[in-house]
Amino acid sequence: MHELGLMFEVIKTVGRIAEAEGVTEVQQITLQVGELSLVIPSYLEDCFPAAIDRKPMFAHTKLEIETVPGMARCDRCGTEFNVVLHEGYCPSCKSFDKTILSGREFVIKEIIAG
């Protein structure tokens, strides 16, 4: 479960940013996680309490996770489609040749300070 390591890194990164800005309490962290990132959002949520344990700055922090759709453009016909929904092939021409447009993200989108 690499999500545990990812969540610890998120908390470490947010902590550094908060300290640099003089923040003593973080109210919310919003992450963007792509459908194609191989990161499971529910696992991140499960790991969150362990990552913030004994860190007063995060005592009341809420975690929000936004899922970014795994979108692609067909290299043959130009159709844009959801890779996960269509199992990797173009719904128009059935080609597997595609360029990924989004869905690989793992981003700290927003930090709300108290």
Annotated binding site for Ni(2+): 2
Task: Report phi then psi at 91, rounded to 5.
Answer: -70, -15
CB 79 within 8 Å of CB 114 = no
Binding site residue list for Zn(2+)? 74, 77, 90, 93
| Residue 90 · residue 98 · CB < 8 Å | yes
Q: Can you say which residues are annotated as belonging to the binding site?
A: 2, 74, 77, 90, 93
Give the pair of three-digit tokens for residue 70.
Answer: 């795994």
Is 82 in contact with 69 (CB distance < 8 Å)? yes
